[in-house]
Structure 1
């Protein structure tokens, strides 16, 4: 009997630090804000490429967009809209990460580690909750990052996220803060359903082969980011176009117009900066989450 136990393959359990529900929300938002400070330039380039589409029937490359921003706006041009990005993380990421981790911990405590379809469902719920809370910040972020590509006379020139939110309410009405909310929530549900479920599933599958640390985070994030970027980018592009179009824009009409006028592959324009943002953002977000959880446990 003892020999059988010695010869049996060692089962390595999925290591997960659990914390109180309210701490999940606080840690999720803090980790998102720390991460966005690193990846904001890639996010800005991605948004610009989605709005540009094609020029003269030709797709604009990532390097061309980067050169244009550096030339016309300088190095700090890559951080336009950072205040809105931080505010978005404080609302959207707080909601989505807090909700997902709370649901995950609850399921693990009472029913064991959830299977992949259940994780996807948790991600969908978390994404929807976070997106509804974060849509106003998302509208401000898209407008602020897009402002630099407009002619000077058409720029909104928001000073910061709070100035943007205030002017949107005064000039366009309170409801405008949720313009494109359906597209935003749809995109967030897709992103979170795929990203959070894939990351946690891949991390669990890789744990028998990699030690729990940075290498495990990186490998899990690379796979999760690739899958998420491929699945979510079309939804993200439609959301961006709807939010910048103003009142009356319909996401189905925007989708049809993009495919008709620019071609179906336009739905994946900006894939490289999207993946360049999503991979590192996932790496840093989950790394910061784990480290903040460890810090909380040490201080408790």
Structure 2
């Protein structure tokens, strides 16, 4: 079966080959393991992004306290099934596609430039995002439900209940509401995250050597770059998908800037980084370990 090298793992000079489909599976698994840890930060970020100009401003800690007081500690994990399903679709697609494109390019042209890494990361992100849009819609709805009055809550029990009810009550196409916004965000996120991680890792390799320190530092830098670059499109995506009726990215952008100011586009920067920074670290650390286990036993 055709295979490939894993680019983020530290292998010895002997080339070992992994079947392409395994790379997709391990990519999805690493994303699911990571989101299981950082889901509370993602939930707090979503709640902060949905607060309008008429609502009381809340800090990251204040929002966290409010959620725990009203919904209990378990409330911080609302929507976890949707988050896991999102990683199983979006995470699998983007990481598998990125590594595949890297292999194809290296086999034909050698080591890609930073610009080419960005292009491949963005293409991979768009591919994964389209596949993962239904899970994204379910995730936004489930994590936002607790901020509504009891009579207006949708009360989805899990991601599959959410997907079936959305399709039945609002039409199948609603599952892809905000697909353009989701893909736009994914282009930015993956260009920043995968592209900057690969580039920073390459630049710092001689300083730190191969190992966990290199992965951690590279991931945290990539996480910060990703947070700043992606937050405006993330806020727009969140509001488009949460809206009761379809709306465009442009109208949401103009509304936010007009009613809340330009800086509102970076609302929730701290929880975003608290999610993306560790998420980036965990994804690549878990991916390294899963790769190592595969090579050890298979």
* Residue 63 of structure 1 pairs with residue 61 of structure 2: yes
Q: 1:89 to 1:276 in 2, by over 3 A?
A: same
Query: Which residue of the partner structure matches residue 121 of structure 1?
Result: 119
Q: Is 1:298 aligned to residue 296 of structure 2?
A: yes
Unmatched 5+ residue regions in structure 2? Answer: 1-7, 12-16
Instruction: Pick which of 34-43 and 58-67 moved more.
Output: 58-67
Structure 2: how far apart are the matches of 1:19 and 1:224?
Answer: 26
* Aligned-pair CA distance for 1:246: 2.8
After TM superposition, give the deviation of residue 282 of structure 1 in Å. 0.3
Aligned with 1:77: secondary structure? helix
Look up the match of 1:24: 23
Residue 6 of structure 1 corresponds to none
Q: Which has the larger radius of gyration?
A: 1
Give distance in 1, aligned partners of 2:10 and 2:202.
Answer: 10
Corresponding residue for 1:49? 48
After superposition, where does 1:43-122 map in structure 2 within 5 Å?
43-55=42-54, 59-122=57-120
Q: How many residue pairs were aligned?
A: 286
Q: Matches of 1:111 and 1:287 in 2, distance apart? A: 28
Query: Equivalences for 1:208-223 in 2 at 5 Å?
Result: 208-223=206-221
Give the TM-score, by structure 2 length: 0.93
Cα deviation, 1:230-280, whole Å, max 9, x if unaligned, reads: 010000000000001133211100000000001110000000000000000
**Shift of residue 218 of structure 1?**
1.0
1:273 corresponds to: 271
- Does the 8 A contact of 2:231 with 2:266 survive in 1? yes
Instruction: Write the distance in 2 (CA, Å) between the matches of 1:198 and 1:133.
Output: 23
- Residue aligning to 1:3: none
Provide closer, same or farther for how the CA distance between residues 31 and 105 of structure 1 changes in structure 2, counting only shifts above 3 A: same
Partner of 2:4: none
Residue of structure 2 aligned with 1:139, choices 115, 137, 155: 137
What per-residue deviation string (whole Å, max 9, x for no partner) do you get for residues 70-126 of structure 1?
100010000000000000000000000000011112222332221100000001110
* Cα distance between partner residues in 2 of 1:155 and 1:209: 52
- Match of 1:246, SS state, is coil
Distance 2:144 2:269 in 1: 17
What is the distance in 1 between the residues matched to 2:41 and 2:210?
A: 28
Q: CA RMSD in A?
A: 1.4
* 1:242-261 matched pairs, under 5 angstroms: 242-261=240-259
Question: How many angstroms does 1:185 deviate by?
Answer: 0.5
TM-score by length of 1: 0.92
* Cα distance in 1, alignment partners of residues 274 and 166 from structure 2: 31
Whole-angstrom distance in 2 between the partners of 1:47 and 1:272: 12
C-alpha separation between the residues in 2 aligned to 1:64 and 1:27? 36
Q: 1:181: how far off? A: 0.6
DSSP 3-state at the match of 1:94: helix
Unpaired stretches in structure 1, ≥5 consecutive residues? 1-13
Contact map agreement 2:10 2:211 (CA 8 A) in 1: no
